[in-house]
Amino acid sequence: MAVLVSTTVNGDTIEFACEPDETLLDALRNRMGLTGAKEGCGTGDCGACSIMLDGRLVCSCLVLGPEAQGREIETVEGMADGPVLHPLQRQFLDHGALQCGICTPGFLIAAKALLDKTPDPSEEEIRFGLAGNLCRCTGYDKIVRAVQDAAKEMRGA
Amino acid sequence: MAQNAATIFKQVTPMQYEAPETTKAAVALLAKAKGSTHVLAGGSDLLVRMKGGFIEPDLIVDIKRIKAMREVKKTAAGFSIGAAVPCAALSENKALVKAWPGVVEAANLIGSKQIQGRCTIAGNLCNAGPAADSVPAMVAAGAKAVIQGPKGKRTVAVEAIGIAPGKNSLKKGELVEAILLPARKPKSGDAYLRFIPRTEMDIAVVSCGVNLTIDGKGVVTSARVALGAVAPTVLLADAAARAIIGSKLDDAALDKLGAAASAACRPIDDKRGTIEFRTKVAAVLAKRAAKIAYRRAGGK
């Protein structure tokens, strides 16, 4: 008894069918082929599945696929402008703010959500803003520096 | 054989997902439902329990399509916070933050930014966890829950919702539609504090909400004190409130408040804290929260 869902992902209207108890994360990855969001814990603790849902940062593992009906979703796949990376993406690369990379899409989405609201965050604000994203490789310092430099760049400073 | 048939039937019966657009339709779905039925607000607890295999819902009723439940309304009677309003939206409402800073800070201690974008205070209340962060703050605030059900609407004090860990007092077909916070009297303040072994993102080992009003001389004229994680349900500590009413929150009154808060505790020993620790820390948090609430009320 699949549910038919029509939603907007990164500006495109997408229709998909999913089971009523299927998570939006699974629907994104397995039905829509958008594998940027990752499943780390599956229980909302690690943030690897972070997406924007109607302008709010959420864990897509804690959203049911059918809930996406008529909503607007933004994923990491929508961050770059064609071949031009988003400043956050480029700064993550320049700073080496990733090792295995599993957590990176979630960090990028959460960092973008933070900078959209707080263009000039303190280090503490960055660390609190990203507290819902776990990284077991980097020790976070490089991530924080990448976000600081991306913020500076985005402010045109 | 009968049991096998039941097991197989269970496996092939798919979960039903409904997202009604009116409270009436939601109540009708809940009232006629058979089997395991759950209301979906933010889902930050419900989906975790589903994935953990603790529940296997036959029906989920998503209330986020009900417009009235997605709004925070300021009325002459105070604030009405719809059951589907995510906690992140509470801190964005300046009037609410100004009137009830303790309730908002408690709601904003729940989980990460990601969880904040989904979780709701109505869900936090209905889950009936003894350590639920927003609940002591709501109890201290004198918040009420508007319940809709097959027999119509009823409004109850929030402390009447949780009856045991994970169990609430809602009857079949009922759901919480909104949380009501009273209008603020002048010279009032509230605060919520919790103890966790980390700096953030953890479950309260002990928590305390204090709400009070003072007069022109700084004397506490009314107060409510609530404690979390020290009993099977969140506690309204009347004796603790009485300890500071009539005082200017001097050291003697604070000591009485602390002693009454500790005396109200009926905690368990677990890996997060011992009975002794929880009982002692309840006093510390009650005193500190009272001081913050007093300052917010304009007391010196």
Q: In the prediction, which pLDDT does B4 show? A: 52
Query: Is the predicted pLDDT of residue B286 greater than 80, yes or no?
Result: yes
Of A21, A64, A131, which is closest to B112 when you measure between CB atoms? A131
Question: Is there a contact between A56 and B40 if contact means CB atoms under 8 Å apart?
Answer: no
Q: In the prediction, which pLDDT does B1 show? A: 43
* B64, closest residue in chain A (CA to CA): A67
DSSP code of residue A27? I
Inter-chain Cβ pairs, chain A and chain B, closer than 8 A: 87
> Per the structure block, which two tokens stand in for B231?
């009993």
Of A1, A62, A131, which is closest to B118 when you measure between CB atoms? A62
Q: How confident is the model over B10-66, as pLDDT tens digits?
A: 555 789 999 999 999 999 999 999 999 999 999 999 999 999 999 999 999 999 999
Q: Which residues of chain A have pLDDT under 50?
A: none
Q: In the prediction, which pLDDT does B200 show? A: 83
Q: In the prediction, which pLDDT does A140 show? A: 96
Most B-contacting residue of A22, A64, A103, A134 (CB-CB within 10 A), to test interface? A64
* B108, closest residue in chain A (CA to CA): A128
Give CA–CA dist B59/B131, Å, rounded.
Answer: 27
Question: Contact at 8 Å (CB) between B297 and B195?
Answer: no
Question: Contact at 8 Å (CB) between B267 and B208?
Answer: no
Q: How confident is the model over B143-169, as pLDDT tens digits?
A: 999 999 999 999 999 999 999 999 999
Q: Which residues of B touch A56 (CB under 8 A)?
A: 86, 88, 117-118
Residue B199: band (very low, low, confident or very high) from pLDDT cuts 50, 70, 90 = confident
Which residues, at least 6 apart from A137, have a Cβ–Cβ distance to it below 8 Å? A98, A99, A100, A103
Q: Which residues of A touch B113 (CB under 8 A)?
A: 57, 110, 113-114, 129, 131-132
Give CA–CA dist A11/B66, Å, rounded.
Answer: 25
Q: In the prediction, which pLDDT does B198 show? A: 87
> Per the structure block, which two tokens stand in for B181?
């916070």
User: Taking the alpha carbons of B48, B51, B56, B61 in that order, is the dihedral positive or negative?
Assistant: positive
Of B14, B118, B201, which is closest to A19 when you measure between CB atoms? B14
Question: Contact at 8 Å (CB) between A65 and A19?
Answer: yes
Q: In the prediction, which pLDDT does B12 show? A: 56
Q: Which residues of B touch A105 (CB under 8 A)?
A: none
Q: How confident is the model over B4-26, as pLDDT tens digits?
A: 555 555 555 789 999 999 999 99
**CA-closest candidate to residue B146, choices B245, B34, B213, B66:** B66
Question: Is there a contact between B47 and A53 if contact means CB atoms under 8 Å apart?
Answer: no
Give CA–CA dist B242/B257, Å, rounded.
Answer: 8
